[in-house]
Amino acid sequence: MVLGYDTNERVVRAVLTGPVNASHAGIALLGRPRGEVRECVREHGLRVIDREAELVFPDDGFSAWTLRAGDDHLPTVALVVPGRSRCTPARKDVGSR
């Protein structure tokens, strides 16, 4: 795991890379071809946005990265969880006070 910090020493990015097994909703994400991951995720009804060298999971707050854009045969090599900005409100837990 690699952490990125801002000038105030707050974590702004967490990156998980192999060799690890990482999955989401029962779908293996790392080490598989990008195109295969994208199709499998969509078949399971999850929303994913295809950007240059990443698959963004906007409802789940992370991205899966490949080494370069334009090649669906390249494997996903990292999962990235960006830090929350000051402008992003904290998520409220339903039923808690």
pLDDT in tens, 19-71: 677 889 999 998 899 999 999 999 999 999 999 999 999 999 899 999 899 89
Distances (CA, A) of 83 to 10, 32, 47, 89, 92: 9, 25, 20, 12, 17
- pTM exceeds cut of 0.75: no
Q: Can you give the residue range of the structural domain that contains 63? A: 2-82
Residue 9 in domain = yes
Residue 97 in domain = no
Residue 23 in domain = yes
Q: What is the pLDDT of residue 16?
A: 67
Residue 37 in domain = yes
Pick from 50, 62, 53, 59: which is nearest to 13 by CA?
62
Query: Does the structure show a pLDDT above 70 at 72?
Result: yes
If one compares 84 and 20, the residue with the highest pLDDT of the two is 20
**Would you put residue 23 in left (φ > 0), alpha (ψ -120 to 50) or beta?**
beta
Task: Give the chain's domain count.
Answer: 1
Residue 19 in domain = yes
